Structure formats: structure tokens, C-alpha cells
A and B are shown apart, each in its own frame.
Chain A
Amino acid sequence: MTDLADLSIADAGRGLRDGEFTAQELLDATWRRAAVTEAHLHAYLVLDREGARRSAARADEELAAGTDRGPLHGIPVAVKDNLSTRGVETTCASQILAGYTPPYDATAVERLRDAGAVIVGKTNLDEFAMGSSTENSAYGPTRNPWDTDRVPGGSSGGSAAAVAAGSAFAALGSDTGGSIRQPAALTGLVGAKPTYGLVSRYGLVAFASSLDQIGPLARSVPDAVDVLSAIAGWDRHDATSYPGDVPEMGRSLDAGVQGVRIGVVTELMGEGIAPEVLAATASTIERLAAAGAEIVDVSMPSTEYALSAYYLIAPAECSSNLARFDGVRYGLRVDGGTVEEMMARTRAEGFGPEVIRRILLGTYALSAGYYDAFYGQAQKVRTLVRRDFAAAYEQVDVLVSPTSPTTAFRIGERSDDPIAMYYSDVCTIPSNLAGDPAVSVPVALDGTGLPIGFQVMAPQLGEEMMFRVAAEVERSAGFSFRAPLATSEVVEP
């Protein structure tokens, strides 16, 4: 019999409504899985057993009484620990927020609760979402369930590891430069970054406000659509949230790609991309062509500058966003004789090296005399990236590329080389700069058995077409591998 923890959201929902099992049993299966996998992975920073138990019990009562909150009702999901959760510690994997228990829920979390989801816990991340490996956590790294010597990607590595290992059916992540899509690629999951503004950022601890978006990590395209549909939509608490109608994201999943025009970004199909990743990308494109899509090569010359622009814009915004962590109102305080000393010591001890590096970088990029050359110029490059995308979308419906230049790398392999680490996001960053949606879909395993992700990008609010193509990619790839650690049997480390 299938372990309940490995069901799709749709199958779990069917079972709940058919009375095959209860939400509390789904939750128990999740706890059993976590009991085995957490020892190896450290996907979670907090497991909210009490809160989850109450939610599951309520879901059972409601479903029994005929109150149906939709596809997520009774489904155990995880939340990245940079999303504010009322009454549940939220640290962003940073010492500076050790012990901080928020008095409010992020809008995305509130919407998950409204959809009846059972929030099981808070997942690990690179401190304040700064990183691509989940090694920059003050509470220790998360490991990849496909190979525990390797990173799960980042910064939403905890969410990715949990979902890939089955200790959550789906999870929320945040994506500033690829932090949902890259870990999804490295752990064999579907990970989507929606159009900027589609999901409220209220309660998402800001890294880079003009780039951050919340999105789902899930085990299939339909699962991802279910989660994203639950959290999307305008929010009065976020002035940058999109005030119009939410796209019908799940409407065309079965429509196929006959006649769909698909652009291949030539700049992301060459240098710097691992051969096996290139090969898997190329064969995915062939399958799309075979399914009736029209394939066009598209050049996006600004892509090569996108990474540089990103590493000015994101640190600049982060240097300001993280100024509020000062030892006055919450979190860590390191004493000092004056308030100035107290703040400077608190920040020096509370932030890890990568966070300090980016704060310093951003402070410099914004400071007098350098603004025009760095931050100002980067914002202009951003305009050029948007123009490239706009030009491309005059010819094609979606763009495709690899998600990550490589499969999962070894823990420690890139820790001392920020530039190499930053390069992990080269394929994902342009969509963040443009505010466009993009999704990673697993398509193959490499020679060492590690998953490879394929990225589908679409214009703003083009989620319906994006998921339509993603669903075809998923079907045609027939990717049904499970991470070796996705088991509730005790495994020897």
C-alpha cells in the first residue's frame, strides 16, 4: 500500500472526501515521515505539532460537516521560515531573530489557513533567503534527500527537502533570484515563482522588495497550481500586489502545446551550463516540438548583465530592509555602552557572513558617489532585461531554459567562492528582474542520479500558458522518480 505521505494533493483530497482516511491520519503519516527524514535532512527549523493537530482535527470536522475549503483542505504543508507565523517562532534562519514569535500571520499563510491547509512547520533556508544552498543557516544546513552529501539548493532548501522527502505535501518558498526554482530543480520538484505582485508579500521578511515573490514547491504541476491558486490575489496590506483578476492557472493543464510558440534563450544554452543539463534541456525541447510546439531560438543579449545587475539591486534593497534588525524591539540584543554600540554589536553577532557581505555590498552601492555607477545603472540594466523579454514575447508565448546550470553540488563545495555560488542563479534571475512568472519542472536524472530541472518563463500574468507548457513538459518527461530518502522506513545514515 502507498504511504499516505507520498500521495499527490489531488489523491489525498480524494481520499479525504471518500472517507478512506482522515486529515489527522495524513498528518500522522507526515509526522512518521519527518521522524525518519529529519535526522538526515534538517529540513525544518520548527515543527508545530500542536497547531497542526488542531488544524487537522478541524479539517476533519469541517469535511464531515460538508464544509469544503477546496483542494488544500486537510493537506499538510510547510512554510519557509521567512514567512511570519502568528505564535510560531520565525527566525529566517538567523541568530538575530532567535526566539522571535510574531504577533501576526503573513497574508500567504493566512490564505493557506483559510484554504484549510494544515501547516506542519517552518522550513530551513539560507539566512534571510540569501544563498543558493541552504548552507547559510545559523541553525545548520539542510541536506538533499537525493544525496545527503549534497545541498538541496536554496534559499528555499528546507521547503524543497521537506516536499521531496515527503514530510510535507507541498511548501511555500520565496524567490528573489531563483530561490524557489533552483532548489526545486535540485530536488526533483516543481517550483513556481509567480508574476511579481500576484501573491502578497505582507509578512514575507523582505530580502529585496522589488524582486521577492512567494510561490509553491510541490511534487507536480497540478499540486503547485493548487497551492498557488490558494495564496494568489490582491491584498490591501501590500501596495505592490496586483489589483486585477488572478489568472486561471489550472484551466489549460491538459490543453497540450499544439501551436504554442516556445522560445529557447540561446544565451542560457551554452557556456557555464553542465553538459548533462544541456542535454536534458535539449531533449525536453525536442519532446515539446514533437507535441506540436513551434520552437524558436531567441536571443536575449542583456541576460549576460542580469546577474551583475541583480547582485547590486538585491544587496542594495537588503541593506535597507535589514536595517530594522537593531536589538531594540525584538530578537537578539548584544549589550553596548551606547545605543550605537549596542546596535553595531547586535548586528555583527546576529548576522552571518553572507548577510553581512550583502549588507555591506548594498550599503556601498547606494552610498554617495557610487549610486549612479552601481545601483542607478543596475536599475537601467533591469529596464534592458525587461525590453529583451518584451521583444521576445512578441515572437513567442513562453521562453525556456535550464533552471540551474548544474545539478546539486556538494555541501561546502562553493561556500568559499561567492561568485561561483552567485552563478547558480544565472538562469533564474532574469525573470525576477522582469517581474515575470517562471516555473521549474523536473525532467531527468543525471548520471549520478540527481534531478535536472527545466525552466518555463512567461510574460507577466501569463501563468495559464506557463503551467500549460509546464504540464506538457511534466507529462512528456514522465519524471516519476522519488528521492531515495522519501521513505518512512528507518534509514542508516
Chain B
Amino acid sequence: MSVIPEGWEAVIGIETHVELQTRSKMFCGCRVDFGDEPNTAVCPVCLALPGALPVANEAAIDGIVRIGTALDCTINERSLFYRKNYFYPDLPKNYQISQYTYPVCEHGRIVVDVDGEPTVIGITRVHMEEDTGKSLHMGEGGRIQDADHTLLDFNRAGVPLVEIVTEPDIRTPDQARAYGAELQRIVRTLGVSDARLEEGSMRFDANVSVRRAGTSELGTRTEIKNVNSLRSMQRAIAFEIERQVEVLAAGGTVVQETRHWNEATGRTTAMRSKEESEDYRYFQEPDLLPLSIDERWRNRVKASMPELPAQLRARLVAAGADERTAGLLADSPLLAGLFDAAVRAGAEARTVASWLTGEVVAYARRVGASVGELHLTAEHLVELAAMVAGGELSATAAKQVLTGVLAGEGGPRQVAEAMDLLQISDSGAIEAVVADVVADHPDALEKIRSGDAKPIGFLVGQVMRATGGKADPKMVQEIIRRSAGL
């Protein structure tokens, strides 16, 4: 959608925060539950009452090891928690427990495919930390700058948060979007997070700089915050590239700063200058012990890995789906599961893939249901595909039948019968009708015999009319040709 101005190149890195869906918080037993009344999922630990101490949630550590494994990372045998010190009212301790040197995972990669071109995006690190509380800025506009006071809810404070940082390997807004989408698919497939951008359980910050094409020096970068969808990340990065190129082309300089994406105006605006960079005074968290993730743990996680989106897509393609449909199927575990089961039971892959990504998705959207809520089983798909292969249903009729099945009208045969869509594919029955029709039109047969193919269509039409449209037209044509000795 976006084009990088001629003669320029963008360098993009993305930091992603993913909230893990554990039952309890990262360092205390408060439930991880959103939409609760404010300040009801809080305890001495997550409110930073004097004397409270953190204890790490084992399931969260397992979650980050799963993410790191899926991203092809090195899982560090020894890993440390640090304190990141800064004052902010939504941060109860006024330090965030995070990681610094020795994160849990390092040196991973994700391959994304944009317009058929695979790009490897390096993952610098994946580390464990805790979320902050939520601030509500009260006053006109709801913006920090206009608020006259702020309300704080600490239900979210201490929810396990995984930060995934890429290398500056991304070059275009399209790649950035593809990266975000793939990462989202991966964490969802792992079942560690619902990764909803709108609800903030997955959040992207993009670091963007530009430089003259062909040069290797990095330009000054800005950090874009507040992108709440993959599309807005793509738009925000595209805007920022264009803005920086304009500034530089006019002889100006890019200021290193954090910029806020405004969805409504489609622009980024400066939040605050990072010239005086924060001094976070990192030091090793004395309240928590080092993590030791040994080979046994790493192997246990490896053994429990589900099929990842890239593997699934490759397998779908190998099974006969084209790249595009494979991508669509892989986006929905349910569709992929149906496809898998149907193909394994002998259904023709392309046909099934086309139904699932076509009629099934369209029907679900039309009735406003999720795929899981539809009356569709793999057995239905197998039966339907067999009816098409056996000539009992035309491709068009099959789609009608599928819609009936989706609506809960019954199994494919039942629906086809009820809709009276079954074709006559019994060659004996068709031969008898053909014989009758040819007997009525002997001249037509003669013409065909003498090399004029035109009357074939006429005869087929006559047969179809005589059978009420239920004969398989292909078979009818074949029999007519055979009768004419062709």
C-alpha cells in the first residue's frame, strides 16, 4: 500500500509487548482478569505495600520459554531479573521488574512473506517483565496534556508481560505489518496470549529511521507509540518514513523522540524529547533468584510445541492448497483443522480449501457467527467432496448444498436430496435418454458423424431438458459422442 520515496531506505525495528494469559499475575496470586471493577484484583505485592515481596509465576516463565522456542531463540540457561527504576504513578513500586543482561531468550528469527518474497527478521531478545496499572486521564479530551487529574486502577499492575525486540531488519511498512501479523499468529497458536491489539494484550512500538538508499549508516530514529491495530502500525510507519524523508530532503534533521500516532488524523506527533535519555539505574533484582532453564525444561517445552503457523502453511501447501489459501486457512486453527481432517480422509484438497476460505468464511460473516459455531464437520466436507468427485453434484450445486449444511439443514446428501440437486450419473439411465433423443433427431446425429460438432450442444440440451437438468452434462456429451462413433 505504501511506497518508500525513491532513493531512500527505511530501517525499522519493532518492540512488542504481549500479556500472558496466566491465571494469576507475574509476581503475586491476584487473578488476571480484565473488565473487573477497578482496584479489586490487588494485593500487598502488586500494590507495592511496604514489606511485600515478589515471587515469580512458573507458568509465566514457561510461557516465555514457549515463545522463545517458537521464535527459534537461544534459551539462556541462566537468566536474571533486574529492576528498571523510574517514577510513574501507574507503576506501584516506581520500578518495574524486568530483564536487562541475560534475558530468557535471545537471537531468534521470524520469516515473513510479503508478495511472495520471504524476509528473515532477526529477534534480538525476548524478555520477561510485568505490566503497569492503567491511568485514566480525566478532563477535557482525555489526553494527558489536558487532564487536570488522573485516576489509577492497579488491576493490570503485575500482569505477566513478554517483550519481543527485533533487529532493525524491517524495511517497509508492509513487512512490519506482516511481522506483526505473524507474531500474533504465533503467540495465539502457542495459547499463551489472546494477543488482541484493540484491548492492549498485544502492543507494538516501532522504531523508524531513514537513510539514502545504498548507504549503511543508521539515521536518527524515532519511536512510534499508540498503534492499536496492524493496519495503524503500517500507516503510522508509512507516515513516519514520509515525514522523516521530507525533513531530511529539506536539509533538516530528525529529532530522536517518541511520537504518538493519532489514528484520526493519520499523523504522528512528538510526545517528548529523548535527548535527556532516562537513566533507569538497572540493577539485579535482589528479591528474586536467578532463573535456571536447563536442558530438561527446554526439551520439555520443545516436545510440547504445537504446529506453528509457518509449519502449518507449508503442510497445507504440500497437501495441495495454494499459498494464498494456505495463509488464510492457517489464520484460523478451526479452518485448518477441518481442512486437515477432510484431506486426510481423502477429500480433494483444492476443493475443500476453496470451500473453507470461500463459502464457509462468507457464510460465517453473513450470519455474524464464528466458524466454530457453524454446523460443519470434516465428515460433511468429505462427503460433499465425494459427491462432486462421483459426479452426483455439480460444483455449483455443491456450494448450494454446503450453504444448507452450514445453516444446519442436515448432512450433504440429505440437503442435496431436499434441494433436489443430485445429478443422474448412472450411465445406463443417461444412455437410454440419449437413445430416445437421438431417435427423435436422426439428422443431428448424421451431421455430427460427418464432422459438424455444432449439434452436440443441441442434443445435450435436449437430454438435459428430458432429465429435468439432473443429468451430468459431461457424461451426456460423452455418450452422444460415443453414439456418433467419435
Are the CB atoms of A103 and B53 closer together than 8 Å?
Answer: no
Q: Would you call A317 an interface residue if the criterion is a C-beta within 8 Å of the partner chain's C-beta atoms?
A: yes
Are the CB atoms of B85 and A323 closer together than 8 Å?
Answer: yes
Q: Would you call B252 an interface residue if the criterion is a C-beta within 8 Å of the partner chain's C-beta atoms?
A: no
Chain A residues contacting B47 (CB-CB under 8 Å) are: 329
Chain A residues contacting B44 (CB-CB under 8 Å) are: 84, 102-104
Are the CB atoms of A239 and B50 closer together than 8 Å?
Answer: no
Are the CB atoms of A106 and B286 closer together than 8 Å?
Answer: no
Main secondary structure, interface of B, reads loop
Chain B residues contacting A104 (CB-CB under 8 Å) are: 44, 49, 52
Chain A residues contacting B102 (CB-CB under 8 Å) are: none
Are the CB atoms of B93 and A324 closer together than 8 Å?
Answer: yes
> Which residues of chain A in 298-319 are interfacial with respect to chain B, using CB atoms and an 8 Å cutoff?
316-317, 319
A100 to chain B, nearest CB (A): 7
Are the CB atoms of B283 and A366 closer together than 8 Å?
Answer: yes
For residue A241, which residue of chain B has the nearest CB? B53
- In the complex, A205→B288 CA distance in Å? 16
B89 to chain A, nearest CB (A): 5
Range of interface residues on chain A? 35 or more
Chain B residues contacting A351 (CB-CB under 8 Å) are: none
A320 with B83, Cβ < 8 A, contacts A104-B44, A209-B287, A339-B150 known: yes
Q: B55 touches which one: A237, A325, A367, A368 (CB < 8 A)?
A: A237
A323 with B283, Cβ < 8 A, contacts A103-B44, A343-B87 known: no
Chain A residues contacting B283 (CB-CB under 8 Å) are: 316-317, 320, 366, 371, 375
Are the CB atoms of A324 and B50 closer together than 8 Å?
Answer: yes
- In the complex, A320→B280 CA distance in Å? 11
Q: 17 extra interchain contacts, Cβ-Cβ under 8 A, other than A239-B288, A330-B49, A371-B283?
A: A102-B50, A103-B49, A201-B53, A237-B55, A239-B289, A240-B288, A317-B283, A323-B87, A323-B93, A323-B94, A323-B95, A326-B89, A328-B89, A328-B92, A330-B50, A367-B281, A375-B283
> Which residues of chain B in 186-244 are interfacial with respect to chain A, using CB atoms and an 8 Å cutoff?
none
Are the CB atoms of A328 and B54 closer together than 8 Å?
Answer: no
- In the complex, A323→B89 CA distance in Å? 11
Are the CB atoms of B281 and A329 closer together than 8 Å?
Answer: no
Chain B residues contacting A363 (CB-CB under 8 Å) are: 281
- In the complex, A434→B281 CA distance in Å? 24
For residue A366, which residue of chain B has the nearest CB? B281
Q: Would you call A203 an interface residue if the criterion is a C-beta within 8 Å of the partner chain's C-beta atoms?
A: yes
- In the complex, A202→B45 CA distance in Å? 10
A323 to chain B, nearest CB (A): 4
- In the complex, A82→B87 CA distance in Å? 23
Give B91-134 as 1s and 0s: 1 = Cβ < 8 Å from A's Cβ atoms.
Answer: 01111000000000000000000000000000000000000000
- In the complex, A240→B53 CA distance in Å? 10
A386 to chain B, nearest CB (A): 15
For residue A376, which residue of chain B has the nearest CB? B283
> Which residues of chain B in 53-108 are interfacial with respect to chain A, using CB atoms and an 8 Å cutoff?
53-56, 83, 85, 87, 89, 92-95
A326 with B94, Cβ < 8 A, contacts A240-B289, A320-B83 known: yes
B215 to chain A, nearest CB (A): 30
Give B26-49 as 1s and 0s: 1 = Cβ < 8 Å from A's Cβ atoms.
Answer: 000000000000000000100111
Interface centre among A202, A239, A340 (most CB of B within 10 A): A239
**Residues on B facing A (Cβ under 8 Å):** 44, 47-56, 83, 85, 87, 89, 92-95, 150, 152, 279, 281-283, 286-289
Q: Which 4 pairs across A and B sit closest by C-beta, in order of nearness?
A: A323-B94, A366-B281, A209-B286, A210-B286
Q: Would you call A83 an interface residue if the criterion is a C-beta within 8 Å of the partner chain's C-beta atoms?
A: yes
Q: B92 touches which one: A100, A320, A329 (CB < 8 A)?
A: A329
Q: Can you name 17 A-B residue pairings with CB atoms under 8 Å? A: A102-B49, A102-B51, A209-B286, A239-B56, A239-B289, A240-B286, A316-B283, A319-B85, A323-B85, A323-B87, A323-B95, A326-B87, A330-B49, A366-B283, A367-B279, A367-B281, A375-B283
For residue A331, which residue of chain B has the nearest CB? B50
Q: Would you call A90 an interface residue if the criterion is a C-beta within 8 Å of the partner chain's C-beta atoms?
A: yes
Chain B residues contacting A240 (CB-CB under 8 Å) are: 53, 286-289
> Which residues of chain A in 60-98 are interfacial with respect to chain B, using CB atoms and an 8 Å cutoff?
82-84, 90, 92, 97
Q: Would you call A206 an interface residue if the criterion is a C-beta within 8 Å of the partner chain's C-beta atoms?
A: yes
Chain B residues contacting A238 (CB-CB under 8 Å) are: 53, 55
A206 with B51, Cβ < 8 A, contacts A316-B283, A320-B281, A328-B152 known: yes
- In the complex, A234→B11 CA distance in Å? 51
- In the complex, A367→B49 CA distance in Å? 25
A109 to chain B, nearest CB (A): 10
Chain A residues contacting B281 (CB-CB under 8 Å) are: 319-320, 363, 366-368, 371
- In the complex, A320→B152 CA distance in Å? 22
Give A328-348 as 1s and 0s: 1 = Cβ < 8 Å from B's Cβ atoms.
Answer: 111000000001100100000
A89 to chain B, nearest CB (A): 12
- In the complex, A363→B83 CA distance in Å? 13
For residue B47, which residue of chain A has the nearest CB? A329
- In the complex, A328→B44 CA distance in Å? 14
Are the CB atoms of B152 and A90 closer together than 8 Å?
Answer: no
